[in-house]
Amino acid sequence: MAKDVTDSGPPPQASLKPNAIGFVDALVIGLNATSPAYSVAAVIGPIVALVGIHAPGVMLASFVPMLLIASAFYYLNKVDQDCGTTFSWVTRAMGPWAGWLGGWAIAMTGVLVVGSLADVAVTFFLLAVGLDSWADDDVLRQVLTVLLILVMTAVCVIGTELSAKVQNVLILAQVICLLAFAVVALYRVYADTGTLDAIDPKFGWLEPFGAGGASLTASLLLGVFIYWGWESAVNLTEEVEDSATAPGKAAVWSTVLLLVTYLAVAFAVVGYAGTDYLAENAAEEEFIFALLAEEAMGGWDWVVLLAVSTSALASTQTTIIPASRTGLSMARRHALPAHFGRIHPRFRTPDVSTWWVAGIAIAWYLVLYHVSENALFDSLTALSLLIAFYYALTGLACAVYYRRQLTRSVRNFFLIGLGPLIGAGLLAWLLVESVADMSDPDNSYSGVSWFGLGPPLVIGIGIIVAGVVLMVVWRLMAPAFWSEHPSVVDPDLVDGKES
């Protein structure tokens, strides 16, 4: 028995296209979903402002829970290759209520971030080609951002193969640009030709606990954000060759490659600019790379601007994938209206759920942008709540899923049980700390109070409450999902070659 399912699933003609992409394509999509250049550009300044030279150490420490949760994704995918990932696994292990909320969290992360990613992609491309006046025109930039979201959504609908080809080009451009910046910056540090207060890199920077206290906690939350998205490869499990193992391996390897990339860039940035400069410009967020590119590379600064642009562009597309596939999976299990489960007869992709994700993301982007640009940034900060929630839920589900098998071998105990539980515990701790931090309005971008709380926390709570309300309403309207009782996959599947 390959896996235990509770229904017969969609008919063959309505299934996603199997074997559409290979392991390398899945790995690239997992990498691009995290938007490495954009992510590290957005957090390096704030992390340095919090912990100084220990910024690389924080990125290393943040990697630990990600790797442990990636292990949970790997083992859960081996026995249940469902594109809904967390939704499907948590439903089977812990019941429909927890599973539904896990699926809702994944879907809403895409809605929150797609508009901002597309906006960054447009802005940095315009800066890279010298169209600064266009980048400063809010109306023009918003129009271009909406058009970009529509184009990347169309690419997702047309086919997974096309998506993979686009992603291969974007990751190549992004990595080359990032490495070029890191090499030039480090060369100028050691050649003593930098224009800022350079510091010679030291291995001691990898020790994350130098600052301690609230500064460490806040920086770790930022660190978790930069790794988020690697699981997009697993959401394509039904479309990847060797679907039982390749997507999970892609998820694990993507976290490792991200660690290497982030450490290289962090050492280069901190070494070239020094901690004072980065802390003073922390509020610039992703634009810190624009400032550093001009300082380090002179007339070649467009290389780094292009890296951030391609990074955000790639992530605009790949972030749509988990949300749309989760919507498809939920609809197939009757947890959402049936039309969300429609698969395009020609392209074999979930076209309805994909366009719904894009439409809601566009509306969210435009509404919040017109409230204030700071409100849009606050919505991104709220992402940490949803990310920590569904990652922790997945780690817990892995241990519950395999609970009868954890004592059969040392490997099972550590890789399937203890590791994912530790990862879930660390993320739960960060979630609690994040709630406490976001309750203070002074910690938000806007610095204003919504109902006596920080806007990010209000947004996060609002999304969760909206999810609970929709879940209860759908439970009353269509109880089929809740009347089904998915069983745990055959425990013998973790023996032998499957372990």
pLDDT of residue 286: 60
- Say yes or no to pLDDT of 42 above 80: no
- Say yes or no to pLDDT of 457 above 70: yes
pLDDT of residue 318: 78
Q: Give the domain ranges of the chain.
A: 23-484
Higher pLDDT, 37 or 266: 266
Higher pLDDT, 287 or 466: 466
Residues of the chain with pLDDT > 70, as a percent, come to: 88
Helix axes 455-477, 419-438, angle to 10 degrees: 120
Least-confidence region, from 87-91, 92-96, 126-130, 446-450: 446-450
Q: What is the mean pLDDT of the chain?
A: 83
pLDDT of residue 153: 92
- Model confidence at 7, pLDDT cuts 50, 70, 90, reads very low
Task: Assign domain 23-484 to its CATH superfamily.
Answer: Amino acid/polyamine transporter I (1.20.1740.10)
- Say yes or no to pLDDT of 334 above 90: yes
- Say yes or no to pLDDT of 8 above 70: no
- Say yes or no to pLDDT of 81 above 80: yes
Asked if 378 and 444 count as a contact pair (C-beta separation under 8 A), the reply is: yes
pLDDT of residue 14: 57
- Model confidence at 5, pLDDT cuts 50, 70, 90, reads very low
CA distance 495 to 110: 36
Give the contacts of 70 (CB within 8 A, at least 6 positions apart).
230, 231, 248, 251, 252, 254, 255
Give the contacts of 79 (CB within 8 A, at least 6 positions apart).
3, 401, 489, 490, 493, 494, 498
Q: What are phi and psi of 131, to 5 degrees?
A: -95, 60
Residue pLDDT, tens place only, 248-297? 998 888 888 888 888 888 888 888 888 888 777 766 656 676 777 777 77
Q: What are phi and psi of 240, to 5 degrees?
A: -105, 140
Least-confidence region, from 228-242, 279-293, 424-438: 279-293
- Model confidence at 498, pLDDT cuts 50, 70, 90, reads very low
Residue pLDDT, tens place only, 133-165? 998 898 999 999 999 999 989 988 886 666 667
Mean pLDDT of all residues in 325-344: 92
Asked if 188 and 201 count as a contact pair (C-beta separation under 8 A), the reply is: no
- Say yes or no to pLDDT of 9 above 60: no
pLDDT of residue 211: 64
pLDDT of residue 11: 39
- The greatest distance separating any two alpha carbons of the chain, rounded to the nearest whole angstrom, comes to 69
Per-residue b/e over 354-382, b at no fewer than 16 CB within 10 Å?
bbbbbebbbebbeebbeeeeebbbbbbbb
Q: Is the dihedral of CA 338, 341, 345, 351 positive or negative?
A: positive
pLDDT of residue 450: 83
